[in-house]
Amino acid sequence: MADTLADVEPMIYESQISVPYSWWAGDTASRFFRSLRDEKKIMGTKCAKCSRVYIPPRKVCPSCFSENPEWTEVSDQGVLQSFTIARRQLASLPEKVPVILGLIKLDGADTGLLHYLDEVDQKQLRIGMRVKAKFADNRSGGIRDIEYFRPAK
């Protein structure tokens, strides 16, 4: 059918999908965000069966399919599990490239947290390096209350 376009300009219907949507964070994420905002504490939930500590916290353990009833504070320091340096200004990125994205396993947690890395020499980035959270000065109760992670001194 494409040959019909040889002498015809293709018609395009320009539009966008824009629907306001409010996600209730739920009581688990609400508690996590309150602790970040008010106390600069990173709180995880612990599975009653396997004792895995989840960051970000979940109400149930996906491994055991049972509840995570206990809250536990984890460290603001941990290990870089993997990373990438975004160099093209992809539409999803709210910050100007280059942006370093990482998966960080905090001490005391068993799962990794997706976040930014900064104040780091790109050449020094490596899996296994120790990093520490830098909290935002103005915190509003969201994942970006941690501003980014930087090499631990």
Contact residues: another protein, CB under 8 A: 1-5, 10, 12, 15, 17, 23, 25-26, 29, 54-56, 58, 62-63, 81-88, 90-95, 99, 101-103, 105, 111-116, 127, 142-144
Q: Which is nearer to another protein, 5 or 137 (CB)?
A: 5
Q: Which is nearer to another protein, 1 or 124 (CB)?
A: 1
CB 74 within 8 A of CB 107: yes
Q: Which is nearer to another protein, 112 or 133 (CB)?
A: 112
Buried b (16+ CB within 10 A) or exposed e, 13-23: eeeeeeeeeee
Q: At 18, is the secondary structure helix, strand, or coil?
A: coil
CB 64 within 8 A of CB 50: yes
| Shortest distance, position 49 Cβ to another protein, whole Å | 15
Q: How long is the chain?
A: 153
